[in-house]
């Protein structure tokens, strides 16, 4: 989910690792100029003291890790650079409303001729903050109310309550987030939640009540996440006309799963990148830690972006996934993959392709989807340098397939089945980037390779979301 419009008492994102001020929003640190600095600029200096003024409930030992590099500066330019980096780290903690930097020559009896003092003047966030936002997901919107307790125990912990009411989903949850001092990317979070969703393409209503624990940490250039999740799932029919296959899936089930995710992201923007790449790999194993759902689920996402001439960008994406049941019990409709719609295979209705029964789409156990896109500026560049730069012309070619597999046939038979009856589409449209949090698409689509039972959207199609093929 991504925020489209936010107006809050303390406008911070709701989720743990994202709390704080983003690097793009950070101004250069304020440097007080002194006549002596002109002499020191090209000479060696010594940072004698670093002060942090304005602390209330924040523990000083937490901040020692964030400012340690300032003491290693060798000249004035290095002091300015390291102080600015330390300011970014302090803001990233999400516990300060404002951080300012003052650099001045050392004073006092022990002051060295080339000594400097660095002072960080901080303003802490209130003990409790509230927010209300409008969020956008993949072709759905919601209103979000949040209550946050930042810096609960003085070491950048956060306790967050969030309620979301949307067009297809309603949820509320309580989460606790704690980073490792000195290593903000290493953190743990615990969540308790209830989510009720409606899935009209399957005539299905699902209510999840669950608890989860996550451990996030970097390894080399990757971001790793280990997660345990326990969920009590309740499935029901959304309409009286629901098919027998959906009615058969109705009822209660327990899922206890362990999952691992790895992400490498070098893109300059997650919404409409101009360069860089993305690799996501996710595995989930259910059943070995309890519950009555047993499966192994693997999926991946690859994206490459290349800037071309005339301010155009060529983008290629590939998604894929496989769901393997463990034991003789078949997989659940709640765990399968779904494909189609303005955020994946354009020209098809939302999640309306693949296995179905009496008009209800049941999802598949294997899928792949690929996309090739060319983004160019609007013709004649209206609004160049301003609002017009948020729009791009979009040419696309999408293809993919979704099916169930017979796991006794072997990998060659699986690949052959995934290569049969490929759905694909092409077209053009306009893309609007909403900051770095979501995007809107208005496309003219021509679906091809349509199979019996698929629902198509031939012509104009609108899409909104944060993750697009």
| Domain CATH number, residue 218 | 2.40.160.50
Looking at residue 15, what is its pLDDT? Answer: 36
Looking at residue 11, what is its pLDDT? Answer: 30
Residues 323 and 458 in one domain: yes
Looking at residue 419, what is its pLDDT? Answer: 85
Looking at residue 23, what is its pLDDT? Answer: 38
In a domain, 169, yes or no: no
Is the predicted pLDDT of residue 4 greater than 80, yes or no? no
In a domain, 269, yes or no: yes
Looking at residue 467, what is its pLDDT? Answer: 87
Residues 225 and 107 in one domain: no
In a domain, 129, yes or no: no
In a domain, 319, yes or no: yes
Q: Which element (helix H / strand E) includes 115?
A: strand 115-124
Q: Could you report the per-residue pLDDT of 68-118, keeping only the tens digit for each? A: 999 988 888 999 999 999 999 999 999 999 999 999 999 888 888 889 999
Residues 80 and 220 in one domain: no
Residues 96 and 193 in one domain: no
Tell me which of 94, 124, 154 is where a domain ends. Answer: 124
Looking at per-residue pLDDT, the higher value among 289 and 193 belongs to 193
In a domain, 5, yes or no: no
In a domain, 37, yes or no: no
Residues 117 and 250 in one domain: no
Q: Which element (helix H / strand E) includes 264?
A: strand 251-265
Looking at residue 42, what is its pLDDT? Answer: 63
Looking at residue 22, what is its pLDDT? Answer: 37
Cα–Cα dist 271/119, whole Å: 37
Looking at per-residue pLDDT, the higher value among 227 and 23 belongs to 227
Two structure tokens written together for 384: 């160049």
Among 284, 285, 267, smallest CA distance to 276 is for 267
Looking at per-residue pLDDT, the higher value among 430 and 34 belongs to 430
Cβ 337 vs Cβ 323: under 8 Å: yes
What's the predicted TM-score (pTM) here? 0.83
Residues 109 and 200 in one domain: no
Is the predicted pLDDT of residue 369 greater than 60, yes or no? yes
Residues 254 and 401 in one domain: yes
Q: Could you report the per-residue pLDDT of 321-347, keeping only the tens digit for each? A: 999 999 888 999 999 999 999 999 999
List Cα–Cα distances, 186 to 69, 144, 157, 266, in angstroms.
Answer: 19, 27, 13, 19
Q: What is the DSSP letter of 310?
A: G
Residues 431 and 287 in one domain: yes
Q: What percent of the chain has pLDDT over 70?
A: 90
| Cβ-Cβ contacts under 8 Å for 441 (sequence gap 6 or more) | 342, 394, 429, 430, 431, 432, 461, 462, 463, 464, 468
Residues 120 and 269 in one domain: no
Query: Could you give the dihedral angle defined by the CA atoms of residues 449, 451, 453 and 455, in that order, rounded to the nearest 10 degrees?
Result: 0
pLDDT interval class at 28 (50, 70, 90)? very low
**Burial (CB count <10 Å: 0-12, 13-18, 19+), residue 4:** middle
Tell me which of 124, 146, 172 is where a domain ends. Answer: 124
Average pLDDT of the residues in 268-293: 92
Looking at residue 318, what is its pLDDT? Answer: 97
Residues 188 and 63 in one domain: no
Residues 285 and 359 in one domain: yes
Tell me which of 104, 124, 144 is where a domain ends. Answer: 124
Grouping H, G, I as helix, E, B as strand and the rest as coil, residue 155 is coil
End-to-end CA distance of the chain: 16
Looking at residue 315, what is its pLDDT? Answer: 96
In a domain, 175, yes or no: no
Structural domain of 421:
180-465
In a domain, 196, yes or no: yes
CATH number at residue 119: 3.10.20.310
Instruction: Look at the chain and report how many structural domains it folds into.
Output: 2
Average pLDDT of the residues in 377-383: 79
Residues 339 and 423 in one domain: yes
Among 287, 297, 295, 227, smallest CA distance to 261 is for 227
């Amino acid at each position: 989910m991504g925020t489209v419009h936010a107006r809050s008492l303390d406008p911070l994102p709701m989720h743990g690792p994202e709390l704080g001020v983003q690097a793009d929003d950070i101004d250069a640190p304020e440097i007080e100029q002194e006549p002596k600095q002109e002499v020191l600029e090209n000479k060696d200096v010594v940072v004698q003291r670093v002060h942090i003024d304005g602390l209330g409930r924040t523990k000083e030992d937490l901040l020692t890790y964030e400012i340690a590099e300032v003491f290693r500066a060798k000249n004035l330019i290095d002091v300015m650079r390291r102080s600015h980096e330390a300011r970014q780290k302090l803001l990233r903690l999400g516990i300060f409303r404002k951080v300012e930097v003052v650099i001045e020559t050392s004073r006092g009896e022990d002051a060295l001729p080339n000594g400097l003092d660095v002072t960080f003047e901080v303003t802490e966030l209130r003990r409790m903050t509230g927010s209300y936002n409008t969020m956008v997901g993949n072709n759905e919107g919601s209103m979000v109310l949040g209550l946050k307790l930042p810096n609960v125990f003085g070491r950048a912990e956060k306790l967050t309550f969030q309620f979301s009411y949307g067009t297809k989903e309603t949820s509320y949850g309580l989460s606790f987030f704690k980073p490792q001092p000195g290593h903000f990317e290493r953190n743990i979070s615990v969540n308790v939640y209830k989510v009720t969703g409606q899935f009209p393409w399957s005539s299905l209503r699902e209510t999840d009540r669950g608890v989860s624990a996550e451990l996030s940490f970097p390894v080399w250039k990757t971001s790793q996440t280990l997660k345990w999740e326990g969920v009590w799932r309740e499935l029901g029919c959304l309409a009286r006309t629901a098919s027998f296959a959906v009615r058969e899936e109705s009822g209660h089930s327990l899922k206890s799963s362990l999952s691992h995710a790895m992400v490498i992201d070098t893109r300059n923007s997650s919404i409409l990148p101009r360069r860089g790449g993305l690799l996501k790999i996710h595995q989930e194993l259910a059943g070995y830690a309890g519950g009555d759902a047993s499966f192994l689920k693997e999926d991946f996402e690859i994206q490459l972006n290349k800037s071309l001439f005339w301010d155009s960008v060529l983008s290629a994406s590939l998604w894929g996934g496989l769901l393997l049941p463990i034991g003789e019990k078949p997989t659940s409709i709640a765990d399968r993959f779904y494909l189609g719609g303005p955020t994946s295979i354009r020209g098809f209705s939302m999640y309306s392709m693949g296995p179905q029964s009496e008009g209800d789409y049941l999802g598949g156990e294997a899928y792949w989807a690929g996309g090739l896109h060319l983004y160019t500026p609007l013709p004649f560049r209206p609004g160049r340098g301003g609002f017009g730069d948020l729009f791009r012309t979009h040419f696309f070619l999408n293809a993919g397939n979704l099916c169930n597999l017979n796991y006794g046939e072997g990998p060659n038979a699986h690949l052959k089945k995934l290569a049969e009856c490929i759905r694909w589409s092409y077209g053009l449209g306009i893309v609007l980037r909403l900051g770095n949090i979501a995007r809107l698409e208005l496309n003219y689509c021509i679906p091809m390779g349509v199979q019996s039972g698929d629902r198509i959207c031939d012509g104009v199609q609108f899409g909104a979301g944060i993750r697009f093929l």
